[in-house]
Amino acid sequence: MWCTMSGEYVALLRKRALTAFKWSKRAYSEGDYDICVLQIEYAVQLYLKSLLYRILGEEVRGHNIRELFSLLAASLMEQNAEDLAREVMEYVRKHRRELTELSEAHTRAIYGLTEYGEKEARLLLRIAEQVLEKLQELEKKLFGG
């Protein structure tokens, strides 16, 4: 059912995702909120891509988090994992606003007219942590462990 492509690439993407999340916390603690938010977006994006690679066996281009979640749901449907696909779609529906904020964080942190503040960065850190937990939970359901 699942593609058994190189687990090394999956592990590398996951490592990069978790490292980006770790650096986002450090940037937050140092008051560098734009970098914090930028790393948050990278963390979620890369973890999604690691999961998609594990399912599809190929790299996924693009960086919009909501689009990556949609691709995840569609990929699960194709793999006859309809219950998990519905779970992903429901998660996206319930957290649409938060996922939109994460998706826009990359562009706003680099090109935005204003800087992120402590409050916004703290909120995005919390959202990203919840998203990463959801992705890890989904990964366990798919692959065990």
Would you state the pLDDT for residue 63? 86
Domain boundaries in the chain? Answer: 7-143
Task: Kindly report the pTM of this predicted structure.
Answer: 0.92
Six-digit token string for 101: 């904020």
Q: What phi, psi does 114 have (nearest 5°)?
A: -130, 160
Would you state the pLDDT for residue 1? 43
Neighbours of 128 (CB within 10 A): 28
Report the CATH architecture of 7-143.
Answer: Up-down Bundle (1.20)
Neighbours of 39 (CB within 10 A): 26
How large is the angle between the packed helices 96-111 and 82-94, nearest 10 degrees?
Answer: 60
pLDDT in tens, the chain (145 residues): 444 446 899 999 999 999 999 999 999 999 999 999 999 999 999 999 999 999 999 999 888 999 999 999 999 999 999 999 999 999 999 999 999 999 999 899 999 999 999 999 999 999 999 999 999 999 999 998 6
Would you state the pLDDT for residue 3? 43
Using the structure block, give the residue that is written with the tokens 């996951």: 14
Report how far residue 32's alpha carbon sits from residue 97's, in angstroms, rounded to the nearest whole number.
24
SS3 assignment, position 76? helix
Q: What phi, psi does 64 have (nearest 5°)?
A: -70, 120
Would you state the pLDDT for residue 4? 44
